[in-house]
Amino acid sequence: MPSYPKVVYKEEGMREGMQIEDANIAVDDKIELLDQLSDSGLKNIVVGSFVSPKWTPQMERIDEIVTRFTPRPGVTYTALALNSRGVERARQYSPPLTIERDPYPRLSAHMCDVFTRRNTNRSQMQEMETWPQRVAQAQELNVKEAGIGCNASWGSNFLGEFPVDSLMTLLEKEHNMWDEVGINVRSVSMGDPMSHCTPAKVEESLYRVKERWPEIDHFRLHLHNGRNMAIASAYAAMRTLGPDDTLELDGTIGGFGGCPYCGNGRATGMAPTEDLLHMMEDMGIETGVDIDKLIDCVWTAERIIGRELYGHVSKAGPRPKTVDQLYDMNAPFIETLEEARHFKKGPEVYEGGIYPYREPITSPYRERVEAGLPAFDSADGDFPWKQDWFPSKDE
């Protein structure tokens, strides 16, 4: 059975999420949510961005948030800054902020020349023109290991789909520049601001990178979810990489997020953190989060934002695993989304529903589980496989 990479997860709701929501959401509400996120077990939280309030009024009061939230020991808090002015602003608040540094000096460019012009006011060519300077800086600092990367990796709302061949050609170009100066490439980053990822393309891209450059063992994926492919793509990445690899993944509680430049607005989204981490726990990848507390965060976010978000585990509840989480066998009909919240709110929310059974439901399996036994014994066990009553064609 598979063994998975080490996964480093970053919660982007306060940045990717809030930047596309109403600019008038109260600072107090945002701080409440941030403090709740801090208490959920998440290890890496982006608190917002230091950007121009002219174009991103949602982040105008980031200073207040950073000043007033309650940092929790062991959690790394970062903020996005797109230029030196932003970094300077963020530095004022470090600590509690950690000034985010890519562990590797990196050459990167957008595959989509239109998106980079819309989003960052630079052409793809201007991005590439920074490469020689970056390489020279790395040489001066005597750096031994570096990274390569691309953004809008698999396609663009303004140019269409990009074949993985083109992505590999861009990465090859970057890799060659590091090769020329004898700096080892250990990391690759792939972004997807316009939600063109698919699990098949992510899998193919990572597979080809591993095949071409086996020494790369650090992978960073920033996947958007406008076409509902982020979770499947993240799974494909975990499945493709191995236990010696590190995979950095980003997502947002509830799955909200987006930017005004990509063309999908609030329909962009990211992988819902609670759904993705609940999957990872099931795969045996430790996340450290308390899923119940994450669901509290989603409910808080929905209240603050004023609408239902995209995640599912916050609506249906986690898969019950322990006896205390199991649903009541004799619950009546559960139909509405409000009734479905019984997993946290208790049976009051479905009381009075239709009860269609003449006799109360009982089950020998449930008795076993409540007694602390597994529902099924192992394959050689005696329940129910070898019970006298087990039917056979001879009966």
Contacts to a copy of itself from residues 348-377, by CB under 8 A: 353-354, 356-357, 361, 363-366, 369, 375-376
| Among 25-33, 59-67, 78-86, 271-279, the segment contacting a copy of itself (CB under 8 A) | 271-279
Q: Tell me how far, at minimum, the Cβ of 94 lies from a copy of itself, in Å.
A: 29
Q: Of 4 and 69, which CB lies nearer to a copy of itself in the complex structure?
A: 4
Torsion sign over Cα 90, 91, 93, 94: positive
| Among 5-13, 78-86, 298-306, 382-390, the segment contacting a copy of itself (CB under 8 A) | 382-390
185: its two tokens: 């490439």
Nearest CA to 288 among 98, 100, 45? 45
Phi-psi region of 57 (alpha: psi -120 to 50; beta: other; left: phi over 0): alpha
Q: Is 283 in the site for a copy of itself (CB under 8 A)?
A: yes
Q: Of 73 and 359, which CB lies nearer to a copy of itself in the complex structure?
A: 359
391: its two tokens: 């039917």
Q: Of 28 and 338, which CB lies nearer to a copy of itself in the complex structure?
A: 338
Give the 3-state secondary structure of residue 212.
helix
Restricting to residues 45-84, name those near a copy of itself by CB under 8 A: 55
- Please report, to the nearest 10 degrees, the dihedral formed by the alpha carbons of residues 369, 370, 373, 377 taken in order: -30
What's the longest Cα–Cα distance across the chain? 84
CA atoms within 13 A on the CB side of 383: 12
Angle at 242 between CA 236 and CA 246, to 5 degrees: 90
Q: Of 66 and 305, which CB lies nearer to a copy of itself in the complex structure?
A: 305
> Applying CB under 8 A, what is the total number of residues that bind a copy of itself?
121
Restricting to residues 128-147, name those near a copy of itself by CB under 8 A: 128-129, 131-132, 135-136
Give the 3-state secondary structure of residue 69.
coil
Q: Is 392 in the site for a copy of itself (CB under 8 A)?
A: yes
Q: Of 261 and 299, which CB lies nearer to a copy of itself in the complex structure?
A: 261
CA distance 107 to 149: 6
Restricting to residues 91-120, name those near a copy of itself by CB under 8 A: 111-114, 117-118
Query: How many CB atoms are located within 10 Å of the residue 139 CB?
Result: 13
Q: Is 199 in the site for a copy of itself (CB under 8 A)?
A: yes
Q: Is 26 in the site for a copy of itself (CB under 8 A)?
A: no
244: its two tokens: 């010696």
CA distance 26 to 10: 24
Restricting to residues 313-352, name those near a copy of itself by CB under 8 A: 313, 315-323, 325-327, 329, 331, 333-337, 339-340, 342
Q: Which residues contact 258 (CB under 8 A, 6 or more apart)?
A: 16, 19, 20, 224, 226, 264, 265, 266, 267, 268, 269
> Are 371 and 364 in contact, with CB atoms under 8 Å apart?
no
| Among 209-217, 222-230, 244-252, 297-305, the segment contacting a copy of itself (CB under 8 A) | 222-230
Q: Is 250 in the site for a copy of itself (CB under 8 A)?
A: no
Nearest CA to 213 among 245, 248, 247, 249? 245
Q: Of 92 and 336, which CB lies nearer to a copy of itself in the complex structure?
A: 336
List 61, 122, 266, 293, residue binding a copy of itself (CB under 8 A): 266
In the chain, the N- to C-terminal Cα span, in Å, equals 39
Q: Tell me how far, at minimum, the Cβ of 95 lies from a copy of itself, in Å.
A: 33
CA distance 51 to 86: 6
Angle at 39 between CA 37 and CA 44, to 5 degrees: 55
Taking residues 157 to 196 in sequence order and writing x for each that binds a copy of itself by CB under 8 A, - otherwise, the string is xxxxxxx-xx-xx--xx---x--xx-------------xx
Q: Is 275 in the site for a copy of itself (CB under 8 A)?
A: yes
CA distance 2 to 239: 7
Q: Tell me how far, at minimum, the Cβ of 256 lies from a copy of itself, in Å.
A: 11
Q: Tell me how far, at minimum, the Cβ of 275 lies from a copy of itself, in Å.
A: 4
Q: Is 204 in the site for a copy of itself (CB under 8 A)?
A: yes
| Among 36-44, 69-77, 79-87, 275-283, the segment contacting a copy of itself (CB under 8 A) | 275-283
